[in-house]
Chain A
Amino acid sequence: MSDLLEQYSKVVGEEAISHLRQLASKLKGMKVVHVNSTREGGGVAEILHRLVPMQLELGFEARWEIVSGGADFYDCTKSMHNALQGNPVSIPDRLLKNFEDTNQANAEKLRPVLHDADIVFIHDPQPAPLIRFIPDHKGKWIWRCHIDASQPYRPVWNYLRRFVIRYDSSVFSLAEFSQALPHPQYLIPPSIDPLSVKNMELGEEEVRSVCIEHGIDPDRPLIVQVSRFDRFKDPLGVIQAFKLARKFMPSLQLVLVGGTATDDPEGEAVLAEVRFAATEPDIHVLLLPPDAHRAVNALQRAADIIIQKSIKEGFGLTVTEGMWKGKPVIGGNTGGIRLQVIDHHTGYLVTTPEGAALRIRYLLQNRNMMHEMGRKAREFVKDNFLLTRQLREHLTLMVALTHGAEDRIDLD
């Protein structure tokens, strides 16, 4: 067994790895290409950093390519992202033209790879038009939407749909995100990598030292939200919840950990709003570089409770990360958070800052329950949201696309 697969077998068991190898053997040698718009920042890049090496070890010719563009391209794709999550954003024709021109230029650059690939995974809206510029492609193309597109702003979705309908299938994280499309829409939740620097085990001393380095007292109660500085993550609502809870527990501390992603031009404006609202000394707003995975890991481990009070969320990998570290999660009752936070078992689902404050107070006063929820949360992630499960579902999808669309595919 290869090194990487052997390491995974220690976490998920040899049976799960054996299952992957059996499935992969039916597809061995296939050329698989993933395309997204950034190598650093955000959940998609994090997944691809490990998914692609895993596919290589399983015998695929796997590659990861990115599309890149100028400021107008990222302004346009950020607006699309917001519109798919329901914001009524009008995108000027000038930006849409730039969006298509940028994709055309990237298509020319990537043509030799994409044209010959057996399977192409296109992640999110940024590279979605590539398919239009490589119409004579050989393999099956899959559009993977990581966004909560349950109630998209229709004019923008209808524009994007023109590209998406050209694909052989699409993948959404949840059924409620699926749309009216003329091809099969597979449901595959994303996952976390238990071996990554962000999720590996850390010693207690290191966790304490990271806290102290950032001015956090490791001996006082701590709640942590790790997210981009994005309005949909509701960082201002988290600050409001913290202020409400702190009235009852003055020693409470809050850390809002965020990073910047190269494809997110709005982050700085939201960060400024957060800093303006963070008026108390025990609110720590940390802007960490995209590769500060070890520090994020330590802060999540230092937390008593993980918060993810999003008002829209594709899946919420930071929820999964917190649960994997044995923490209960207080999460917004939206999107993929609902799939992970089982109310009263692995955490609580809330809809308001007041609701979040109530649950923070409750858990901090009921520590046995808090630890039991954390234990259940870790087990739930182990069984359902680790990378090996996502890879298995990708392999199943690839088998289905290359062996016909029957309900039952017997590979014998």
Chain B
Amino acid sequence: MDGNGNGRSFNIKDCALSAIATGVRAHNLRELRDHMLRIHPGSIYYHFWGGLLRPRFDEREFNNDFALWLHEAHGLHDETLAERLAVVDPSEYADIEQLRFQLIDIMSDRLDESEKLRLTHADKPFEFIRSQIVVFDTGFRISSPEDLARTARSMTPSSYFFHFIDSRRRTPGRGNDFCEWLSNYGPEYSRLCDKLREIDPYFISLAELKNSILATFDDYFS
């Protein structure tokens, strides 16, 4: 299990994300759609998930950069497309390429619908940025679910990013590493996993994500 040890030991990992400019910019929807055809897969990852590891304001209501740019006054300011893009859940797709084609479909449909949008140029272009992720082992090993609940208190926000969000790209069930590991224990912890899976990381900061997970552990083990 990626991110976890052999057998029943769980290796706590951590990560750091770099943002790299691609130099690719879109000034209108057609350009955005066309760049999406060729843009580096790391860019789609960055614009969906990277926001959680970079400066952002917590009250932000859109959870991916494409939707946000469509929404913003300095962007294209098209609420219809902003809403359609905002509900795309990247973990529903087998890989980045399937996600890419879904986004292209949604954008193409909107281009067909709206003549006005075909002619609209944004004041502020969309800057495609790609990510580079560095993953490292913290050296901490977890030997039991109770130990996980205790050690989770000292994990960094970026470690939560790795085990709870990045995991959606890595694990067979597109879930989080905690539940993947807990499933080794059979059905005993399925109720805990159900609760963990209910935590929606899209609209909260990593600090809030950590608090939610810790509260879930506390409820379960108390």
Binding site for B on A (CB under 8 A): 15-16, 18-19, 22-23, 26, 172, 175-176, 178-180, 184-189, 339, 342, 345-346, 380, 383-385, 392-393, 395-397, 399-400, 403, 405-412
Contacts and interface: CB of A to CB of B under 8 A. Distances in A.
A160 B69 CA distance: 33
Contacts of A175: 19, 21, 127, 129
7 contacts: A22-B14, A188-B19, A345-B57, A400-B134, A407-B45, A407-B132, A412-B135
Nearest to B205: A383
B42 to A, nearest CB: 5
Nearest to B137: A412
Given A186-B20, A187-B20, A400-B18, A380 B135 contact: no
B181 to A, nearest CB: 17
Given A393-B18, A407-B42, A339 B136 contact: no
B17 interface: yes
B156 interface: yes
Given A185-B23, A186-B19, A409-B134, 10 more contacts: A15-B154, A22-B138, A179-B23, A186-B18, A187-B129, A384-B54, A396-B16, A407-B41, A407-B132, A410-B136
B194 interface: no
A188 B21 CA distance: 10
A23 B16 contact: yes
B131 interface: yes
Contacts of B136: 22-23, 26, 410-412
A406 B133 CA distance: 9
Contacts of B115: none
A128 B176 CA distance: 45
B158 interface: yes
Contacts of B192: none
A345 B154 CA distance: 31
Interface of B: 14, 16-21, 23, 41-42, 45, 54-55, 57, 59, 125, 127, 129-138, 154-158, 205, 207
Contacts of A18: 154, 156
Nearest to A389: B55
B135 A410 contact: yes
B157 A15 contact: yes
Q: Interface of chain A, helix or strand or loop or mixed?
A: mixed
B23 A407 contact: no
Given A22-B14, A411-B135, A178 B55 contact: no
A346 B58 CA distance: 12
Contacts of B132: 396, 400, 405-409
Q: Which 3 A-B pairs have the closest CB atoms?
A: A178-B21, A175-B127, A384-B55
B133 A408 contact: yes
A396 B55 contact: no
A230 B141 CA distance: 55
A178 B23 contact: yes
Contacts of A187: 19-21, 129
A139 to B, nearest CB: 19
Given A345-B59, A408-B133, A19 B21 contact: no
A411 B127 contact: no
A399 B19 contact: no
A337 to B, nearest CB: 13
Contacts of A346: 57
B21 A411 contact: no
Contact of B134 (A16, A380, A385, A399): A399
Contacts of B129: 175, 187
Contact of A392 (B16, B41, B125): B16
Given A176-B127, A393-B16, A380 B57 contact: yes
A186 B132 CA distance: 10
B217 to A, nearest CB: 17
Contacts of A19: 14, 16, 156, 158
